[in-house]
Structure 1
Amino acid sequence: MARLNYVELSVSSIETVRGLYEQAFGWQFTDYGPDYAAVEGGSTTIGFNADGDANAVAVLPLVAVDDLEAALDAVLRAGGHVRVPIFAYPGGRRFHAVDPAGHEIGVYQSTE
C-alpha cells in the first residue's frame, strides 16, 4: 500500500536550517552530500534540499510505493501529469507528478 511518509523542504543551504532543528527539537541530521540532508527515524522523514529553488515555499510530500512504474501509470490514468520524469538518487528512484488541482507530489521507490 502506498503511504505518505516523507516531506521535503527547499532551503538555501543545509547549514541555514540545521542549527534551528537540532537545537529546538533535538533532531539528528543524516547528510546525503553537500545539498541534501534528512531527519530520519520517526514515522515521517523530513528532507532538506538545497539543490533546487531555495525560494520555494511549497512542501513536497513524497509517497512510498512498491512499484514505481506501476505508480506512474496509475497517476497518468487518474488524470495527473508528470513534471519530473523518473530519476535515480542515492537510495532509490522517484518522479514528481502534478494532480488535477495543481499540487505537486513526489512518488518514490526505495532501493534499500
Structure 2
Amino acid sequence: MDQHNKINYLEIPVKNLAQTKTFFSRAFGWDFTDYGPEYSCFNQAGIAGGFYLSPHSFELNRGSVLIVIYSDDLLESITGVEAAGGTITEPVFSFPGGRRFHFKDPNGNEFGVWSQ
C-alpha cells in the first residue's frame, strides 16, 4: 500500500542478476518480475523493490545502510543462506529486541536477518 511520505521502494545494485534471483529465491522464497535484462523487481520480500545491474556492492564498513530481513527461525535462515551460496559474516548475536546475523549474498552485498 502506497502511503504519503513513507519508504516505499528499494533499489539494490547487483553484479549478476540471474545469480541474485536464484540466491534470494532459494534462501528466502522470493520471486521476481523482470523488466528487461538489467532490472528485476522482487516479490514476497515485505517491501517493494528491485535489483539492477551494477559493478558496485554495499557493506556496513563502507557506510552502507543495512537491509534487514525478518525470520521466524534464525537457524533455518542461516541454513538457507549458506545452501543458496551466501556467506555468514557475523554469527548470531543478541541486540536490544532480539537476535540477528549478517551475511553477504553472492554479489558481496551485506544484509542482516533478525528474529525476536
Instruction: State TM-score, norm by structure 2.
Output: 0.47
Instruction: State TM-score, norm by structure 1.
Output: 0.48
